[in-house]
Amino acid sequence: MDSHLTELQNYLVLGGLLFSIGLIGLLVRRNMIVMFLCVEMMLQGISVSLVAWGRFHGDWGGQMLVIFIVTVAACEAAIGLAMILAVFNYSKQLDIAFWQEVREAGIPPFTDHEIPEEREEDRVWPTLSPAGVEPELDVEEITHRSRV
Amino acid sequence: MNWSLVNSLWPLFVSMVLGSAGIWLMLPPKGRQGRFVGAILSVAGLLLLAIQLLGFGQWNGQAMFMLLATFTTISAVATITMRSPVYSAIWFALTLLGTAGLLLLQEAQFLAVATIIVYAGAILVTFLFVLMLAQPEGHAIYDRMSWGKFAPLCAVLSGVLLVGGLTFLLSDLEAMPEAASLPTDNHMARLGGELFSRRLLSVELAGTLLLIALVGAIAIAKDTRPKPRQAVSTSSDGRQA
């Protein structure tokens, strides 16, 4: 098997991996911003595949399409994030499950059966360790007022 | 039964099972031990898949690809499994770096640089900006939940079927007639020439789309609700000012 074909296969498998990892994230996560990141990751997978095809066929079409993917991704991010902000101003949370209240009539709501408890270490935030030596303060110099 | 098919297929099958079990263990409703075990399992699955891919061809010339692909895949999995969305965004930046490296390997220099500048530089920063506006405390209860018990399982299954099927179908591609490869000198000039001659209409369309998105984003983000009326101020002698 020639090396061009091998390369194409490798890149297509990688593109498929990125696409499906993004798909899994989109289906599983509930934070709207993370869902958005997953959509961008799916676009990355498509880009890798398109460039690989373009190189295999010796054609600029793949790279052209990727340029337009980047353009559309930028538009999508601008509009999507503006919408997320507008939605957040209404619901005060990024949970997509909040929006099931606009579902069709007659469809039962999704309810969380088990809510994970918040552990102690989840509330701890990283802090910067103190560096250097704290300078000794000269109280007289600080409180000295020359014009009084 | 076709045993040769089974013999050639089992590494792919095992790698898909390992990878999917690992991702499933790392996804939100699971605890900390699950994430550790899941990370080990999915790395093992990824290694098996890499060996499978190496079976397609020879080792030489693939080392760089394998390195970058492993880096990209691991950071992609970390993006979707991190509980804090800030960490998700940072891991996604690493995914973008890996993708840019892969594009560079494929002699798409302009796209590699554009990915870093436009995606990691502009889009991702906008994501982080909105994240800090909307969720300044960093973690929320819905980041540690999913849609019940079966949703992660079904999602992982569908994703794995996609990758497994694709890899299986790709494993017996037949050699196609050799196409002319792209010239590698003067990359930017050739790309620009193609972009502004054959694809000129698309460029115009993309520009229009950007303009519409710009106006639309401002129109959406603007607060159009009527403002609450100002409290009527009264002057000292009780009359309305």
pLDDT tens sequence across A79-115: 998 988 888 888 888 888 888 888 888 888 888 777 7
Q: Which residues of chain B have pLDDT under 50?
A: 1, 238, 240-241
What is the CA angle B31-B33-B38, rounded to 5?
95
Q: Do A84 and B134 make contact, defined as CB atoms within 8 angstroms?
A: yes
Supply the pLDDT for residue B201: 93
Question: pLDDT tens for residues A45-70?
Answer: 999 999 999 988 888 889 999 999 99
Q: Do A60 and B158 make contact, defined as CB atoms within 8 angstroms?
A: no
Instruction: Say whether residue B234 is in contact with chain A using an 8 A CB cutoff.
Output: no
For A67, which residue in chain B has the nearest alpha carbon? B111
Q: Provide the β-strand partners of residue B234.
A: B240
Which chain A residues are within 8 Å of B51, Cβ to Cβ?
Answer: none
Which chain B residues are within 8 Å of A58, Cβ to Cβ?
Answer: 179-182
- Read off the pLDDT of each residue in A18-36 and give the average, rounded to a whole number: 91
Instruction: Say whether residue B143 is in contact with chain A using an 8 A CB cutoff.
Output: yes
Tokens of A128: 């910067």
Asked if residue B57 lies in contact with residue A3, where contact means CB atoms within 8 angstroms, the answer is yes
Q: Could you tell me the CA-to-CA distances from A81 to A119, B29, B154, B214, B222 in Å, in that order?
A: 31, 26, 28, 12, 13
Residue B93 CB neighbours (<10 A): 20
Supply the pLDDT for residue B141: 78
Tokens of B12: 């792919």
Q: Provide the β-strand partners of residue B240.
A: B234
Q: Do A33 and B141 make contact, defined as CB atoms within 8 angstroms?
A: no
Question: pLDDT tens for residues A117-131?
Answer: 666 666 666 677 888
Asked if residue B26 lies in contact with residue B91, where contact means CB atoms within 8 angstroms, the answer is no
Which chain B residues are within 8 Å of A94, Cβ to Cβ?
Answer: 85, 134-135, 140, 142
Q: Could you tell me the CA-to-CA distances from A41 to A125, B20, B235 in Å, in that order?
A: 28, 18, 60
d(CA B195, CA B201): 9
Q: Do A58 and B180 make contact, defined as CB atoms within 8 angstroms?
A: yes
B59: amino acid identity, one letter: W
Task: Give me the residue from B130, B148, B151 closest to A33, CB to CB.
Answer: B130
Tally the C-alpha atoms within 13 A of residue A119's C-alpha that lie toward its C-beta: 5
Closest C-alpha among B121, B67, B192 to residue A63: B192
State the nearest Cα–Cα gap between A102 and chain B, in angstroms. Answer: 17
Closest C-alpha among B45, B1, B5, B190 to residue A59: B190
Supply the pLDDT for residue B241: 44
Q: Could you tell me the CA-to-CA distances from A2 to A9, A145, B51, B54 in Å, in that order?
A: 11, 84, 18, 13
Closest C-alpha among B65, B130, B71 to residue B102: B65
Supply the pLDDT for residue B105: 87
- Go through B196-206 and write b for each residue having 16 or more CB atoms within 10 A of its CB, e for each that does not: eeebeeeeeeb
Supply the pLDDT for residue A96: 86
State the nearest Cα–Cα gap between A129 and chain B, in angstroms. Answer: 20
Task: Give me the residue from A67, A81, A118 closest to B126, CB to CB.
Answer: A81
d(CA B107, CA B120): 20
Tokens of A61: 């079409």
Computed from CA positions of residues B60, B64, B69, B71, in that sequence, does the dihedral angle turn out positive or negative?
A: positive
Supply the pLDDT for residue B142: 80
DSSP alpha helix (H) spans, A29-144: 32-57, 61-91, 139-143
d(CA A49, CA B16): 20
User: Average model confidence (pLDDT) for chain A?
Assistant: 85
